[in-house]
Structure 1
Amino acid sequence: MSESKDKYFFLHEEGPPGYVGGSGRGAQGFTTRSDIGPARSTERYVVMPLAGGEAKEENLNESNYDEFSGYGGSLFSKGSYDSEDREADLIYDAVDKRQDERRRQHREQREREELLKYRQERPKIQQQFSDLKRDLSSVSEEEWDKIPDAADIGKKLKRAKRQTQERFTPVPDSLVAGVRFVWQHSSLDVRQQKYGGLQTPLPGTQTLKPGAVLVVAVVLRGDVDMMEVGAARGTLMRMNLDQASDSVSGQTVVDPKGYLTDLNSLTPSFSGDIGDVKKGRMLLAAVRKTNPKHGPAWIASARLEEEVGRIQTARNLIIKATEKCPKNEDIWLEAIRLQPPEQAKAVVAQAVAAVPSSVKLWIKAADLESDVKAKRRVLRKGLDTIPDSVKLWKAAVDLESPSDACILLGRAVECCPQSVDLWLALAHLETYDNARKVLNRARKAIPTERAIWIAAAKLEETAGNEANVGRLISLGIKSLQGNMVEINRDLWLADAKACDKSGHVQTCQAIVREVINIGVEDEDRLETWLEDAESFVKDEAYNAARAVYAHCLTAFPANEDLWEQVAFFEKEHGTRESLDEHLRKAVKYCPQAETLWLMGAKSAWLGGNVPAARNILLHAFTAIPNNEDIWLAAVKLESENNEHQRARGLLERARREAGTARVWMKSARLEWVLGNLDAASEMLADAVKLHPTAPKLWMMRGQISEQQDKVEDARQFYAQGVKNCPDSIPLWILSARLELAAGQATRARAILERGRLKNPHCPELWLESVDIERQLGQPEVATAIMAKALQDCPNSGLLWSEAIFMEPRPQRKTKSLDALKRCENDARVLLAVAKLLLSDRRITKARRWFNRTVKLDPDYGDAWAAYYKFEQLHGDASKQEDVLKHCIAAEPRHGPIWQRVAKAPHNWGKSQEEILKLVARETKFY
């Protein structure tokens, strides 16, 4: 060992200056933290090799250490840490501090919540015993003195533990042998099985019950077989049942299977704390003792006993209460309720004798009777005692026939002249003349009641005297105002709504006309009245709403929007006759309203009266000459009725007088659908010279050229179209589709790329790019493009609805949730979710989402078609008919599939129903 130490002594010594270990073998020198740490007390210089072979001494003293740059300056810069660096650091520190200040409030709030949650889960010891500490403030000095010392408590606990501790002593073998002998000789013999009794023990022997033998054997025998114990238990059960049987008839009086269940029925149903019951019983007893006349205390005591299953105690208490409080009707009602049916009549007899003026007791007495005659007798006896009780009179009238009820009501209104219900009931049972007399008497008896005047108006309307209805309502309001009664507008309008629901239309409208101006400022009239009408429509009181609209039109006859709103109301909730009548009035007051003229012509046309529709449009031409919509409506009327020559003549005249791009387009469209492609092309060539920025003209030129297999001409028309109309998205899409159909996929991609540059953030162009890649069989490229599209248009429901089904099936649900978060009110997303639910066979939920979609956007035809196809697959004929009816009423016009099918030339002239079925046939559910 000594030789080795002497041999390697240099390993423990410091190397010579400038020595770098391993440099002779080509190793590079390095300095660690231990070399330059504060443990070095003397100043050292390390020679670092340089690239040129020279060495440079580095000062590693603490005085040469900088907080930012380290030893000897910056690592990446030859310069020192100057003022600009320090200023930059200060700026960064200020930014960090500002960011920390912004988050501090949220962080401190989160810390407080976490601390509060932690304290709630793990409270401190002092918090756990805080309630006990508060109770110590009420401890007296004597109680303090009685508290024993801690040492005494410990001794008492130890002593009590020793006293209660179980001690086990070994059992002698003789006792075990004796028990085993008893176990083996305690079985039943033949006489026990025959007569059902135990064998008579021998004289001088001690009899042990089988149950005791079983217990002792289980405790003492260490080798007891559990099968033996089970057999013994079954034997004991069977023996007890045999002893309880009837030895004469052989039929048992105990149900061997259900006797334990019967025992459960004896257990009270109360599941609360018995200690609480005892406390409540003591408190209620103290209340009864303090104030024996306090009825609620007796009732509460009886109900407490009833709750815990002591029904007889409850009855005794309530009977005692009737003695203490004989005039309290609530106690008597409780006593009647607690008594069995056979005794309740006796109690109610005592009750009405003690409290003869109680209406509730007389009603209860009548309810206890099962015979109608007995009920009548009880109620009439009650009316003799309380003749001014309206409730008793109503109960008595309900038991009578109409003729007897009329007589009884005649007496009732004499005893209770202030009861409006009795007067109205009597008037309802009388004839027209007698009813008028009754209502006149009622009006004199109660001059401040509006229901009497309304009932009189209803009576006149029922009798056919509609002219008297408005006069009665007007007189009624004046009479009430004369009797200082405030006319509450809302109450009267509610009465009008009730009259509308009951079928008294004239009374309803008379009430509306009389009270609609009450309490309304002049500047707020129209707004308030329209709100009233909307409220009536919401409650399906359409006649009341019609009366409000009529009053509005009388006050504002030149309001074009009001006439149009009322027209839509009549179209949805009225009849065709009422709509036509309204439109005839509308065009008289607003002859320049083209919408009203067109609605009138369409209503007449749908009603099958084509000459009337032509006449309306003719008057519209006179009122509004050279109007584009009226010209085109006339053309559509003629073309839909196969009057093509008349339609051509109208269009030719319209091109001369109006000459708009839409007129030229409709002219070319008519020739196109009739098969005159050359005439349509020539017409479009002239049209684009007049209207070069009309995109539909260029689209039609290109589509007609495609139909004629003139691909080069179509390409040229589309190119010229996107040049003149760069913001027309359908033109870009048609141009790309043409190139794709011609096999030029690269050119199609380029066209869509140019379209996106001209029209940024356009979801339709992005979706077309995705469709092109999917048609070319490149789903990965389509997925990548869809990802870029969603980044460019993150709120596009069109893109999200397609992205859902581009995902694998397990991930579609997550994608649909993301889509709903982005586009919650987009019909296309809702339709996609409905299709997703259908693919999971969740039929009920899918139907609800389809319905929600068409309600959100009734103009989206693809949703209606999908809904109709869904009902064809999973619904019945009634549901299909309902969807079809609502679709026809909504008249949808948009949707990719809907527009393609509806505007196809071979589908020209088809009805909404036919278009819906065609679109449903092309709809796919993925």
Structure 2
Amino acid sequence: MASNKQNKLAFLSMPAPASYVAGLGRGASGFTTRSDIGPAREGPSAEVIAEAQARRGEEPDYDPEQFQDPDNEVGLFAGTTYEADDEEADKIYEEVDRNMDARRRARREAREEAELAKHRAERPKLQQQFADLKRGLSAVTDAEWESIPEVGNLTRKKRKRDERSFVVPDSILVGDRARGEYENALDPMQQETGGLVTPADGTMTDIVKFGQARDKFLSVRLDQVSGTSTTSGSATSVDPKGYLTSLDSVVIKSDAEIGDIKRARMLFESLVKSNPKHAPGWIAAAALEEHAGRMVQARKLIKQGCEHCPKSEDVWLEAARLHNNHDAKVVLANAVQHVSQSVKIWLAAADLEHDTAAKKRVLRKALEHIPNSVRLWKETVNLESSAADARILLARAVEVLPLAVELWLALARLETPERAKTVLNKARKAIPTSHDIWIAAGRLLEQEAYAAEGEQDREKALAQVDKTIEAGVAQLRKHQVLLTREQWLREAERAEGEGAPRTSEAIVKATVAMDVEDEDRLSTWVGDAEAAEERGRVGTARAILAYALRVFPDRRELWRRAADLEKARGTAAALDSILERAVHCVPQAEVLWLMWAKEKWQTGDVPAARAVLEHAFVANPESEQIWLAAVKIEAENGELGVARELLVRARTVADTERIWMKSAVFERQQGQLDTAFQTVATALAKYPKFAKLYMIQGQLHEQRGDVAAARAAYAAGVKAVPKDVTLWVLASRLEEADGKSIRARAILDRARLVNPKNDVLWAEAVGVEERAGGVAQAKTMLARGLQECPDSGALWTLAIWAEPRPARKARSIDALKKAQDDPLVICTVARLFWAERKVEKARVWFGRAVGANADIGDCWAWWLKFERQHGTKEHQDEVITRATAAEPHHGQVWPAVVKDDRNRGKKIAEVLEIVMAQLK
């Protein structure tokens, strides 16, 4: 064993490898030898330093980190691992530190605030010191501002004065003294002659006349500048008032622009020299000179262009443009010698003539050179003043150009109806592929039909229109002219726009069913009718729907759409005819019967409305809506006994919950409260889940003043129908009216638990807090409601008005982002513009509000109130008319006003006035 141990430790006595570096594996760095730093003297070694310290009695300094392994930790628990227990302990210590800090935080913050307040009280800012003075400046008047003296120099510092002085030379003093003197003596050398001698002719020169001439010349120049001349008395060419304005019209080119013009000129010169047959180069070069203001040079260039490019019509036209009228005629006269087949040059030459006869001569000369130009023939015909001359020209034109459809149609329009038929027949034979000729033939027949006296003759002629268009479509298909259905519909709309509705209808009949699958016909035709109506082509839309009704006579939605079209765009007779056909084809469509009866009633024909409803009873004996419509007609016309009898019969024949509810309401309106109570009780026994019956029962008890019974009715209602929000609101308002706001809050809290995310309940809760005087509680409730219902227009409206005036605009922007299509929010934005006196913007936003939802009556009332303050009579009448057509039913104030017994039977315009008066 000793030998084995000796073998194991034998490596200790072995020499180290040549590349071995001690400690390199543990991260030790290399060392530097003398060979690295050069032949310098080596310092004392560590042993020598230690021996010297021992002789002096000093203890050696030990570095505590000299024996520390850098790869290991340093500390008390070096070498140990960081476990989960250690992490938990550290978290506990940190939590303790946070708790201790929180315990002291309140006292520390209070102490800091007190110190800060004390510091600000002792040493306030300049802004705080002058705050009261700045507020007082708002009361300073303009006169007081103007009377404030100038500040001046308040620094109390002596300004330095430049007291240096300089000696003025004598030459300056003498020269300044002699500057104002006049010479009144002649030169002694000229005294013998008595004056100045002119070397040229020896005559005497009078200096006084020189001065007078100079003064006169100066006065003339001044008069010219002022606009008058004293010598001739006529106006000068200088306009003193418009002189500066004329200077503004002068274009002053910058250096950069001048440089660009020079470079462009060099390029164009190179272009026309390298390729003189290139006409656009000459045109561009001349345009450049025109832009630079060198018209003479531009005309020279374009003249050279005409010489080099005589066959280019653009060069000749540009040359004519650059010259005046007389020279342009000469240029175009030379042009027609080189380019006699150019229509543009002949038309330009005709435009230069101011006399009609001269224009005719030019155009007829042009037709001699270019007889096959349709444009030249049209321009020539347009110059003729008499129809006979134009007819002769067109007859010649169609002989020369038999394929010109426009010329044939123009000739047919100038002929009599009989001769026009002959012309169109010739045109059809000459051009069998033109659909315009067939449409023109249909329009001609339609005109003859309207000119006919008898009704039968008119109908026969109109039938010929349909046959002609149908035959035209067939002939065009035979000649492989395949127009698409969309193209034919556009032709129908064009014919309607040109005053030919029957031709448009005939085109629709012949082509609307082309290339449409059987299963897509209804949706396609409805879409075509809507598109035509949007473009204002009501006749085309009516024809499309009429064709669709012939194919689908049993579709009630199609009849309803046709009736709506006639109601919006047609006449009362057309609407009556449509509804009569509709109820005949679809007798089970209750809405069509009701529309027909309503139209009769609104026109004042009550017996006809009753007759319509009688026929409706026969077709729909158990229809709830027809029974109620009959009751409404009788009640509105004062036949209360008949209305009550109808309700009794309706409860027997059509025993529905709504009829029972209407019966109770009718008795309440007539003041028969006992009968109303009995009716409601009987109805509740049959329909215990109908919420409106509980509402009527509670309102009847409120009308009698029995709050306890009303409370019991509402309690039974919310128990039977907990999902009906209106019942909860009525119960809450009953408690609030009884002075018990706490119970009202409790009811709304229960309602929100049963009906979460309901903005009506949140808005009612906010209203309860506001009416109770708790503004802070109302804001808190509103914030909670917006968190639960972030897209509610009613809540955002309350939020906008809850803000102070400067912050409402920003709040409205947030509301539009969250509920941008809500009519209440849009109406609120309109009211904000109204408050800011931005009338036009407010009017636009009110229009957007009713456009988003026309069923909100409050929006119409706000708009009318706005127009009553800022609008004209036309604006007010427009709002009332649109509101009457919309027939609104909803809102915050509108339903209560409409259902009030005192407002029974009032029209929408009257209800608008009442709602407008209640709005705040």
The alignment's TM-score, normalised by the length of structure 2, stands at 0.75
Deviation string, structure 1 residues 120-175 (Cα, Å, up to 9, x no partner):
xxxxxxxxxxxxxxxxxxxxxxxxxxxxxxxxxxxxxxxxxxxxxxxxxxxxx99x
Deviation string, structure 1 residues 581-618 (Cα, Å, up to 9, x no partner):
22222223222222222222222222222222222222
Q: Is residue 220–residue 230 contact of structure 2 (8 Å, CA) maintained in 1?
A: no
C-alpha separation in 1, matches of 2:549 and 2:824: 40
Deviation string, structure 1 residues 568-593 (Cα, Å, up to 9, x no partner):
22222222222222222222322222
Identity score, percent: 45
Deviation at 1:378, TM superposition (A): 1.7
C-alpha separation in 2, matches of 1:604 and 1:259: 75
In the alignment, is residue 765 of structure 1 matched against residue 778 of structure 2? Answer: no
CA 1:65–1:849: 2 relative to 1, 3 Å: farther
In the alignment, is residue 357 of structure 1 matched against residue 361 of structure 2? Answer: no
Aligned counterpart for 2:78 among listed residues 63, 68, 74: 63
C-alpha separation in 1, matches of 2:713 and 2:749: 19
Which stretch has the larger CA shift, 450-459 or 904-913? 904-913
Aligned counterpart for 1:74 among listed residues 89, 109, 115: 89
Give the partner amino acid of 2:517. Answer: E
CA 1:858–1:247: 2 relative to 1, 3 Å: closer
Deviation at 1:295, TM superposition (A): 0.6
CA 1:898–1:40: 2 relative to 1, 3 Å: farther
CA 1:270–1:499: 2 relative to 1, 3 Å: farther
Aligned counterpart for 1:342 among listed residues 318, 322, 326: 326
RMSD, matched Cα: 3.3
In the alignment, is residue 427 of structure 1 matched against residue 412 of structure 2? Answer: yes
Deviation string, structure 1 residues 237-286 (Cα, Å, up to 9, x no partner):
99996799999669988778887876776655578533322222122112
Tell me the residue number matched to 1:52: none
Matches within 5 A, 1:254-269: 268=252
Deviation string, structure 1 residues 806-861 (Cα, Å, up to 9, x no partner):
11111111111111111011111111111111111111111000000101101111
Tell me the residue number matched to 2:886: 890
Q: Is residue 823–residue 829 contact of structure 1 (8 Å, CA) maintained in 2?
A: yes
Bigger CA radius of gyration: 2
Q: Is residue 737–residue 748 contact of structure 1 (8 Å, CA) maintained in 2?
A: yes
Which stretch has the larger CA shift, 780-789 or 582-591? 582-591
SS, match of residue 273 in structure 1: helix
CA 1:238–1:378: 2 relative to 1, 3 Å: same
C-alpha separation in 2, matches of 1:546 and 1:619: 27
C-alpha separation in 2, matches of 1:188 and 1:387: 91
C-alpha separation in 2, matches of 1:177 and 1:354: 86
Q: Unpaired runs of 5+ in structure 1?
A: 1-37, 45-58, 79-172, 192-201, 204-234
C-alpha separation in 2, matches of 1:189 and 1:682: 129
C-alpha separation in 1, matches of 2:557 and 2:438: 37
Tell me the residue number matched to 2:129: none
In the alignment, is residue 633 of structure 1 matched against residue 618 of structure 2? Answer: no
Tell me the residue number matched to 1:827: 823
Give the partner amino acid of 2:425. Answer: N
C-alpha separation in 2, matches of 1:619 and 1:261: 83
Aligned counterpart for 1:452 among listed residues 421, 424, 437: 437
Deviation at 1:352, TM superposition (A): 2.2
Tell me the residue number matched to 1:724: 720
Deviation at 1:67, TM superposition (A): 6.4
CA 1:247–1:882: 2 relative to 1, 3 Å: closer
SS, match of residue 487 in structure 1: coil
Tell me the residue number matched to 1:752: 748
In the alignment, is residue 412 of structure 1 matched against residue 427 of structure 2? Answer: no
Q: Is residue 270–residue 309 contact of structure 1 (8 Å, CA) maintained in 2?
A: no
Q: Is residue 412–residue 422 contact of structure 1 (8 Å, CA) maintained in 2?
A: yes
Give the partner amino acid of 1:744. Answer: K
C-alpha separation in 1, matches of 2:263 and 2:557: 74
Give the partner amino acid of 2:882. Answer: H
In the alignment, is residue 277 of structure 1 matched against residue 264 of structure 2? Answer: no
C-alpha separation in 2, matches of 1:539 and 1:726: 49
Deviation at 1:400, TM superposition (A): 1.2
SS, match of residue 74 in structure 1: helix
Matches within 5 A, 1:801-816: 801-816=797-812
CA 1:329–1:689: 2 relative to 1, 3 Å: same
Aligned counterpart for 1:403 among listed residues 384, 388, 406: 388
Tell me the residue number matched to 2:848: 852
C-alpha separation in 2, matches of 1:64 and 1:878: 95
CA 1:482–1:70: 2 relative to 1, 3 Å: closer
In the alignment, is residue 523 of structure 1 matched against residue 523 of structure 2? Answer: no
Matches within 5 A, 1:192-271: 268=252
Tell me the residue number matched to 2:308: 324
SS, match of residue 791 in structure 2: coil
Aligned counterpart for 2:463 among listed residues 463, 467, 470: 467
Deviation at 1:897, TM superposition (A): 0.6
C-alpha separation in 2, matches of 1:539 and 1:719: 55
Give the partner amino acid of 2:677. Answer: S
Q: Is residue 270–residue 307 contact of structure 1 (8 Å, CA) maintained in 2?
A: no
Aligned counterpart for 1:372 among listed residues 349, 353, 356: 356
C-alpha separation in 2, matches of 1:660 and 1:261: 86
Matches within 5 A, 1:351-750: 351-401=335-385, 402-464=387-449, 465-750=461-746
Give the partner amino acid of 1:662. Answer: R
CA 1:186–1:509: 2 relative to 1, 3 Å: farther
CA 1:763–1:247: 2 relative to 1, 3 Å: closer
Give the partner amino acid of 1:570. Answer: E
CA 1:389–1:740: 2 relative to 1, 3 Å: same
Give the partner amino acid of 1:417. Answer: P
SS, match of residue 387 in structure 1: coil
Q: Is residue 465–residue 506 contact of structure 2 (8 Å, CA) maintained in 1?
A: yes
Which stretch has the larger CA shift, 260-269 or 437-446? 260-269
C-alpha separation in 2, matches of 1:504 and 1:689: 64
C-alpha separation in 2, matches of 1:76 and 1:899: 63
C-alpha separation in 2, matches of 1:514 and 1:180: 113
Q: Is residue 501–residue 539 contact of structure 2 (8 Å, CA) maintained in 1?
A: yes
C-alpha separation in 1, matches of 2:373 and 2:439: 25
C-alpha separation in 1, matches of 2:264 and 2:522: 64
Q: Is residue 594–residue 624 contact of structure 1 (8 Å, CA) maintained in 2?
A: yes
C-alpha separation in 2, matches of 1:189 and 1:254: 37
Deviation at 1:292, TM superposition (A): 1.2
Deviation string, structure 1 residues 97-127 (Cα, Å, up to 9, x no partner):
xxxxxxxxxxxxxxxxxxxxxxxxxxxxxxx
Deviation string, structure 1 residues 204-236 (Cα, Å, up to 9, x no partner):
xxxxxxxxxxxxxxxxxxxxxxxxxxxxxxx9x
Give the partner amino acid of 1:277. Answer: I
Count residues in correspondence: 738
Deviation string, structure 1 residues 625-672 (Cα, Å, up to 9, x no partner):
222112111111211221111111111111122222211110011111
Q: Unpaired runs of 5+ in structure 2?
A: 1-61, 69-73, 94-166, 185-194, 197-214, 450-460
CA 1:477–1:72: 2 relative to 1, 3 Å: closer
Deviation at 1:703, TM superposition (A): 1.2
CA 1:702–1:248: 2 relative to 1, 3 Å: closer
CA 1:413–1:273: 2 relative to 1, 3 Å: same
SS, match of residue 896 in structure 1: coil
CA 1:181–1:503: 2 relative to 1, 3 Å: farther
CA 1:335–1:809: 2 relative to 1, 3 Å: same
CA 1:184–1:506: 2 relative to 1, 3 Å: farther
C-alpha separation in 2, matches of 1:346 and 1:886: 65
Q: Is residue 220–residue 231 contact of structure 2 (8 Å, CA) maintained in 1?
A: no
